[in-house]
Amino acid sequence: RRFNVAVVGATGAVGETMLSILAERNFPVGKLVPLASERSAGGTIDYRGDDYVVQDLASFDPTGIDIALFSAGGGVSKEYAPKFAAAGAVVIDNSSAFRYDDDVPLVVSEVNPDAAKHRPRGIIANPNCSTMQMLVALAPLHRKYGIERINVATYQSVSGAGRSALEELGRQTGALLAFQDADPQRFPVQIAFNLIPHIDDFLDNGFTKEEMKLVWETRKILGDDGIQVNPTAVRVPVFYGHSEAVAIETREKVTPEAARELLAASPGIEVVDEHRAGGYPTPVTHASGRDPVFVGRIREDLSHPRGLNLWIVSDNIRKGAALNAVQVAELVANGG
Ligand code: A2P
């Protein structure tokens, strides 16, 4: 059977990758409908070598759509996802609009695929990019050794903030190399040649919302409210690929050798962990444009008897967003 697929936000950084991944993985697409705002309606996007006209979401009738992939921001999802679901579509939503609702499953395809089967509102949420890659790597360790606590600092590329953020890093880099002003617009301060310890809004507890997503989503996806997470989220001047320095504390001790072996045999993971120059994953050399979550720098925590350090890198637009959404669509298509 084939599925009529709508991609909401088809002109965006994630939406365009959703389209290319649907094609790459031969998803059984019947009718394809790219949707965006009236700004880009009427333009065309490419799918498998053919041009498709982008339609205006606001005036589109979702009747007949089987699967809708949403990546156009939380506000758009809040307003339109329930309308698509009411028309009979299964919505896979990349925004944070529904992630914390009890009746909306939050699914990482390698970690909790069965959760996608129970979707009373017809909506499945795609996790935040940083949580996604962290849990692909940590879930196998959690199952075998019991993770009690996670300390994580993220190094997040600008593509996570959309096309305008990619343009801002490029523009600022050029401007600064030409001795002109950075002129920050998309980010609160200069991002080129800088780091920004602030992603999404500040909350009352002093953490940012991006940081709390790592806490809330980890607990929901692993189904373990006792797991402690201490996050710092940082935006870095990298175009594609998020990196994370992660320190875990486990109930049972795990050696680096055992962790390497377990992770190398787990789905969606590639271990790159040689003790030599270049023998570790980086966004540019390994992750950008590729599917796996790469794990390296696996070593014991010198300061804790049951502590393990890991360096986790993945393409935030692919596994962190578009790829997982399409993998969830595959679960749905296969009867999940
Ligand atoms: P548009 O091209 O019409 O602006 P990014 O995350 O890369 O910035 O992309 C955001 C995506 O969400 C784009 O495809 C954008 O379409 C789409 N989008 C933003 N606001 C709306 C809206 N109000 N209705 C429909 N699509 C929207």
ipTM for the complex shown: 0.99
Q: What percent of the chain has pLDDT over 90?
A: 99
pLDDT of residue 262: 99
3-state secondary structure (DSSP) of residue 100: coil
Distance of CA 186 to the CA centre of its chain: 20
The catalytic residues are 129, 242
pLDDT of residue 277: 98
Spatial CB neighbours of 298, under 8 Å, sequence gap ≥ 6: 256, 259, 260, 263, 271, 273, 308, 309, 310, 311
Query: Ligand 1: which atom is nearest the Cα of residue 13?
Result: 7
Look at ligand 1, atom 16, and give the residue with the nearest C-alpha: 36
User: Which two tokens mark 240?
Assistant: 């594609």
134 and 230 in contact (C-beta within 8 Å)? no
- Strand 147-156 and strand 242-250: pairing? antiparallel
Q: How far is the CA of 157 from the centre of ligand 1 (A)?
A: 19
What kind and span of H or E run contains 164? helix 163-177
User: Which two tokens mark 19?
Assistant: 């389209």
Query: Ligand 1: which atom is nearest the Cα of residue 41?
Result: 3
Query: Ligand 1: which atom is nearest the Cα of residue 39?
Result: 3
As a whole number of angstroms, the distance between CA 336 and CA 322 comes to 19
User: Which two tokens mark 332?
Assistant: 């749905």
As for ligand 1, residues whose beta carbon falls within 6 Å of it are 9-13, 15, 36-37, 39-40, 57, 72-73, 76, 162-164
Q: How far is the CA of 336 from the centre of ligand 1 (A)?
A: 29
pLDDT of residue 58: 98
Look at ligand 1, atom 9, and give the residue with the nearest C-alpha: 12
Q: How far is the CA of 15 from the centre of ligand 1 (A)?
A: 9
Query: Ligand 1: which atom is nearest the Cα of residue 57?
Result: 25
Q: How many CA atoms lie within 13 A of 142 on its CB side?
A: 22
As a whole number of angstroms, the distance between CA 320 and CA 229 comes to 19
Per-residue model confidence as pLDDT tens digits over 71-114: 999 999 999 999 999 999 999 999 999 999 999 999 999 999 99
Let me know how long the chain is: 336
Look at ligand 1, atom 22, and give the residue with the nearest C-alpha: 37
Per-residue model confidence as pLDDT tens digits over 313-323: 999 999 999 99
**DSSP output for 173-225:** HHHHHTT-----SSSSS--TT--BS--S-B-TTS-BHHHHHHHHHHHHHHT-T
**DSSP output for 21-33:** HHHHTT--EEEEE
Which residue numbers in the chain have pLDDT < 70?
336
3-state secondary structure (DSSP) of residue 235: strand
281 and 294 in contact (C-beta within 8 Å)? yes
Mean pLDDT for the chain overall = 98
Pocket test for ligand 1, best of 11, 169, 316 (most atoms within 8 A of CB): 11
Q: How far is the CA of 72 from the centre of ligand 1 (A)?
A: 5
Per-residue model confidence as pLDDT tens digits over 231-253: 999 999 999 999 999 999 999 99
User: Which two tokens mark 1?
Assistant: 């059977």
Per-residue model confidence as pLDDT tens digits over 214-230: 999 999 999 999 999 99
Strand blocks (E) in the chain: 3-8, 29-36, 44-47, 50-53, 55-56, 67-70, 90-93, 123-125, 147-156, 228-235, 242-250, 269-271, 293-300, 307-314
pLDDT of residue 247: 99
Q: How far is the CA of 264 from the centre of ligand 1 (A)?
A: 37
pLDDT of residue 336: 62
Nearest to 290 by CA among 317, 323, 315: 315
pTM above 0.95, yes or no: yes
